[in-house]
Structure 1
Amino acid sequence: MTKEELKQIIPHREPMLLLDEASLTGENLAEGKYTVRGDEWFLQGHFPGNPVVPGVIQCEMMAQTCCVLFAEDVKGHTPLFGGLDKVRFKGQVKPGDTIVFRCSTVKHRGPFYFAQGEGFVNDTLVVKAELSFAVT
């Protein structure tokens, strides 16, 4: 999915649409990608002379990737974070890096979705988490 196609399933818009592309890569598996240009608003001041993508932004990118998994249920609704658990940061994401997220649904109960995701730069794990959502 391109950014324009992503806009059909999630309500995010620039500057909070934080994926360049996303796709379903198998049953119950989604992949999202973002290449850090270096001029993003979230890098201003984080950190001068040594820009690093904030962990909370990485979690948002992962969450947007997860929404691709339940795209049909999300269309026309607002997916809201319910929680983040077992978040671990294993490396830095810097300008010029492409971070690739691989996410899967763990379970679904009514309007609640539970997922897990990992983010990689050059096949090196940099972030992982368990996520939950409520689709309103």
Structure 2
Amino acid sequence: MRRLAADRRVTGSNASNHDAALANLPHADPFRFLDRIDELSSERGRGVWIVKGDEDFLRGHFPGRPLVPGVLITEAAAQLAGAAAHHFMSEAAGETTGEGSNGMLVLSEARFRRPVEPPAIIELVVDAIGRFGSIHRFDFEASVDGVAVASGSVGVSLTPANGEASS
């Protein structure tokens, strides 16, 4: 289970709040794929993953012609979706501080349109498309230099850290 620490009001272009939302992600190197969050609300998130080319996973995927694994692009989108879903839960509870929430990726569907060769700046956008109980579903698109490289949907399941179900 992932734990999302509490950062309750991250909207618009407030860079310090975006930095806090990024710092509050439960992921750490080498499994945090978001380098920056540019926009975050309960309905939408925009962020960036910078692939430098020296990441360990590239050594074997593939030797001589490294490609960013599509499943990791999907995971980066899920991390951004988790931050937006956490923001939604915070707004719904009317909280500005708190203990955070636990979450996990519960489903994903993805289409990989073009290979991504490092170095690359992968721009990610997630848009909320529905909620059912603790499950928040988002469409996502990933692009490099304005060209779509992947799209699909991810679902994240979040529950408050105290274990009570959300509505």
Give distance in 1, aligned partners of 2:48 and 2:139. Answer: 16
Q: What 5-or-longer segments of structure 1 have no aligned partner?
A: none
**Helix, strand or coil for the counterpart of 2:101?**
coil
> Which moves more between the two structures, 71-80 or 27-36?
71-80
Paired residue total:
133
Matched, 1:89 2:112: yes
**Helix, strand or coil for the counterpart of 1:48?**
coil
Identity %: 28
How big is each residue's C-alpha offset from its partner over 1:11-44, in whole Å with a ceiling of 9 and x where there is no partner? 1111111111013267722111011111112212
How big is each residue's C-alpha offset from its partner over 1:110-130, in whole Å with a ceiling of 9 and x where there is no partner? 211111100000110000011
Alignment match of 1:24 (pick from 39, 48, 59): 39
Query: Hey, what does 2:134 align to over in structure 1?
Result: 111
Runs of 4+ aligned residues of structure 1 deviating over 4 Å after TM superposition are: none
Root mean square deviation, CA, Å? 1.9
In structure 2, relative to structure 1, the CA distance for the partners of 1:5 and 1:132 (3 Å cut) is closer
Shift of 1:67: 1.8
C-alpha contact (below 8 Å) 2:137/2:156 kept by paired residues? yes
Query: Hey, what does 2:26 align to over in structure 1?
Result: 11
Give, as a single letter, the amino acid of the residue that structure 2 aligns with 1:112.
I
TM-score, normalised to structure 2, is 0.73
TM-score, normalised to structure 1, is 0.88
Q: What 5-or-longer segments of structure 2 have no aligned partner?
A: 1-17, 91-98, 160-167
**Helix, strand or coil for the counterpart of 1:91?**
coil
> Which moves more between the two structures, 27-36 or 97-106?
27-36
